[in-house]
Chain A
């Protein structure tokens, strides 16, 4: 059945419809997996031919993680903690190198697929284990439920988890980019549901459609936005009903609200965004790596680290620049020697662009 979500003749029909609508519009999406679908199937080219520009915003958790956060993780690694994280984080360059560099200098840095592997590791050692927790609402419930399930006392979490909707608000309030609609990420929405997007549609009069990750899901979402524009509507619609419920995943939302509270935070490419980071609540201090290991982090916790010179990730993350417009793309910056996180992460626009179209246009 899933193959039908890739059906070529349906895709052609949607493109024909969009051509007849003659809309000149710019849309944003905020998910690396959407970007992968769009570039892998060449949907951006098909849409461009019918006047629709589609670009990725700040939807890559590794990419929006700041240099300062990576420096915290590196510092903990260099101070003898076992630092554990997801694979995409390993090679992101920070001010003094990546976590991988720290590892090659002898620090203990481990990659896991799931936080449960980090807990298993903590049970097998006397050493302190710090899990660098990256991700939006899709990933954060697994961290929350782990914290609630009595992990060993040598385990702690460096929370880099973020709430996605505040970033959408921040981006729109900056007003740099004129967009006519947003395609919302299906797997964040599986957790948060469709309601958190409603005030954005009302305030900015923007159509939004929650979409799945097959090519037809994305094209259908574009078509649904186009239909809204033609009928002067601006509401939140759900294309991905086979997974996303209006109210989201209640149990996941509940564990998030028990464990985390919102805190203002910087995002790469953005100024401070209010209520955008998930901070462990006070009662979980003993699992909060920033508090537990405050002495180790004192020297780096307040430092403002410069972003890599010439790196366009900040503008790419705000949807203002295409990867190939960056002066470093494919020359100084490649997946094997990345300068910015967008070239490292499999959800980064630059990495995806390089993977499917590595030559300069």
Chain B
């Protein structure tokens, strides 16, 4: 049987290139925010590319916040889909 690829501790969800992970800002000091990714993972994230506030969800890619997640728009999208999908 072919051997399994060795575990690569250097690669994880955090090293996927174009993947950005949502997390919630718990603290901001200058350009650095403490971000909670919800599974017990907290990381320092550079927020100099966005206008973020504590409590907001941001999309984090390679250590930088690239955009703020808009919760209201997310809810609106889901509502719109329900409408479209339940239309006859």
Contact = CB atoms under 8 A, between A and B. Distances in A.
Interface string B1-34: 0111110101110111111101000000000000
Interface string A129-154: 00000111011011001000000000
Contact of A88 (B2, B15, B66, B85): B15
Nearest to A145: B48
B17 A10 contact: no
B20 to A, nearest CB: 5
Interface residues of B, number: 40
Interface string A185-197: 1011011000000
Nearest to B43: A113
Nearest to B16: A346
B17 A32 contact: yes
Interface of A: 1-2, 4-5, 10, 13-14, 17, 31-33, 59-62, 86-88, 90, 111, 113-117, 134-136, 138-139, 141-142, 145, 185, 187-188, 190-191, 213, 216, 220, 239, 241-245, 249, 251-252, 255, 334-336, 345-347
Given A134-B17, A187-B66, 18 more contacts: A1-B75, A17-B85, A61-B17, A87-B8, A87-B11, A87-B15, A88-B17, A90-B10, A111-B11, A135-B17, A139-B17, A139-B61, A141-B64, A141-B66, A244-B67, A249-B67, A255-B49, A345-B17
12 contacts: A1-B78, A88-B16, A90-B10, A135-B17, A135-B18, A138-B61, A139-B17, A139-B62, A141-B64, A241-B70, A243-B67, A251-B49
